[in-house]
């Protein structure tokens, strides 16, 4: 369940990064644009993303012993951090890339854990 929540939060980051320029192009204004374009939103989203990353992926590695989900997740997280310091033109692209890597990491971790659980269930019978 942790990986599903983490993937959903990372998806929200991707939607945020893609929707903000679209809202600006459409001439949108108001509260929604204010929330989406404010800097605090980035920091607010990083907190649960980092907690879920630290809670889910290392624990998954301890069970399935595959480094790929952790490596993908850490790379995605570091790219998200780099996007905070990037030039405005690169910020959205880096954030989307980081978010997509995090989504992939969590879904892959979930798949590996599910396959192990399914495999151990068949062995027990």
Domain ranges of the chain: 2-124
Confidence class of residue 1 from pLDDT cuts 50, 70 and 90?
confident
Task: Taking residues 24-50, report their average pLDDT.
Answer: 72
- Residue ranges of alpha helices (H) inside 26-125 are 31-37, 39-64, 68-85, 88-124
The DSSP code for 30 is S
Looking at residue 35, what is its pLDDT?
A: 61
pLDDT digits (tens, 9 = 90+) for 51-82: 999 999 999 999 999 999 999 999 999 999 99
Confidence class of residue 34 from pLDDT cuts 50, 70 and 90?
low
Q: Which of 83, 99, 79 is nearest to 91 (CA)?
A: 83
Structure tokens at 82: 């780099």
DSSP string, 95-109: HHHHHHHHHHHHHHH
Looking at residue 39, what is its pLDDT?
A: 72
CA distance 2 to 107: 10
CA distance 116 to 109: 11
Indicate yes or no: pTM above 0.75. Answer: yes
Q: Are 95 and 80 in contact (CB under 8 A)?
A: yes
Looking at residue 42, what is its pLDDT?
A: 78
């Amino acid at each position: 369940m942790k990986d599903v929540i983490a993937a959903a939060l990372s998806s929200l980051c991707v939607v945020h990064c893609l929707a903000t320029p679209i809202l600006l192009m459409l001439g949108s204004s108001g509260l929604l644009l204010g929330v989406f374009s404010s800097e605090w939103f980035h920091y607010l989203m990083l907190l649960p993303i980092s907690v879920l990353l630290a809670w889910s992926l290392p624990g998954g590695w301890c069970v399935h012993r595959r480094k790929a989900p952790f490596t993908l997740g850490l790379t995605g997280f570091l790219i998200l951090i780099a996007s905070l310091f990037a030039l405005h033109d690169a910020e959205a692209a880096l954030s989307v890339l980081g978010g997509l890597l995090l989504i992939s990491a969590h879904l892959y971790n979930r798949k590996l854990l599910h396959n192990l659980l399914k495999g151990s269930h068949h062995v027990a019978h």
